[in-house]
Structure 1
């Protein structure tokens, strides 16, 4: 019973700390003191220690010898790697999802877009990041590929940090999130759209370019920013549609 109780406290601490990080109340690089967190959350240090270990496995926390734990701090190179890897994973996920799409799955995606519209109107910017993540999570589930889903979950929470950084540095995220995700749904309904892979590259890659143009690196490092489709809005990183 004590073990179950502690596991419950640890899980609650994981959820609380993850939310603090994804809401931006705990900043990247910020030190995480077990003593301070124990006092703040009203639990002993053991569940806090377990929660920090779990968050480290998720990629949200790093622990260094003699320095303790802190919120992970992602560099421009980290953002580049996340973006390029995510493009590769999502191309496969969407290709497989197209073959398995059902009316119920489309309804689920449209429901998320409905929530996005409400969040935009209510200026719930942090909520938009979670809905963005949920939307793409559904696609990876639809893909029905266990190893692909495992690869996605390995980067999912750092993708959320990327979205958080993008929202903070380039404040147009809420202006385009609904339209771009609606375009993705339309593309999946069209099936075998020859331009679909390019749409994925722009959806993810131009967001990376926008973030870099705001001071997080060189947009030209990213393939979608370096080789924009002729005549597309992404021909200039500064005018490319921001991506999720």
Structure 2
């Protein structure tokens, strides 16, 4: 969060509230009272209200007329929609990235993988989730497709929330977290589009199925 302090006020409030949600500091379903948030952040209610509107558009907040804003709670339909939309975007990104990726892109991805491995060793699943999203940022950037990257940016916060939820709720391992990303990186390094698209499809499906199955089991246990 060090970089947040240098942002303009409105962007800083958005960044701090987004971080609170995506770090798990504020739980899903929690009410977000404007007055209390403004006091905590040391700002007026106006920037907080604007920030809540931004986060509502990102899908992180459930905000309805005449109701207090709450942190979004992902349901089965939500995760299926996030998965299916991301799958469409990312397979296109994978196809294009193999023809446009640079050594600098690959270097950034290797660095992120090392950081993911370190975070996994510390069992910092929130950090792992954010680095996971950053790794996939690189694939979209390597596609050199501005509109595709903007479409990814529109759902990135929800995808990160998906990843945090998955890594918190579902069993995982180094083979899954690191091994699958290493395989993606190897296919991209080899500029093998068919292999990268297939591995991307399998990677995203596995993440979706693990979270879906965990949510189903949890709902049955609570019934």
TM, length-normalised to structure 2: 0.88
Partners of 2:76 and 2:215 within 8 A in 1: no
2: distance between equivalents of 1:8 and 1:62?
25
Alignment of 1:84-123 (within 5 A): 84-123=84-123
CA RMSD of aligned residues (A): 1.7
Matched with 1:189 is 189
Question: SS at 1:199's partner residue?
Answer: helix
Q: For 1:65 and 1:142, locate their aligned partners in 2 and report how far apart those are by CA, in whole Å.
A: 40
Structure-1 separation of matches of 2:17 and 2:189: 38
Deviation at 1:152, TM superposition (A): 0.6
Bigger Rg, structure 1 or 2:
1
Deviations along 1:91-137, one digit per CA (max 9) or x if unpaired, are 11011110012211111110111111111222222111110011111
Moved more, 170-179 or 120-129: 170-179
Q: CA deviation at 1:65?
A: 1.2
How many equivalent pairs are there? Answer: 211
Q: Report how far residue 181 of structure 1 moved.
A: 0.8
What is the 5 A alignment of 1:5-154?
A: 8-154=8-154
Instruction: Measure how far apart 1:24 and its partner are.
Output: 0.9
Question: How far 1:174 sits from its partner (Å)?
Answer: 5.5
Identify if the C-alpha distance between structure 1 residues 135 and 198 changes in structure 2 by more than 3 Å, giving closer, same or farther: same
- Higher RCO structure, 1 or 2 (CA under 8 Å, sep 6+): 2
**SS state at 2:27 partner:** coil
Q: Distance in 1 between matches of 2:19 and 2:171?
A: 21
Structure 2, unpaired ranges of 5+ = 1-6, 218-223
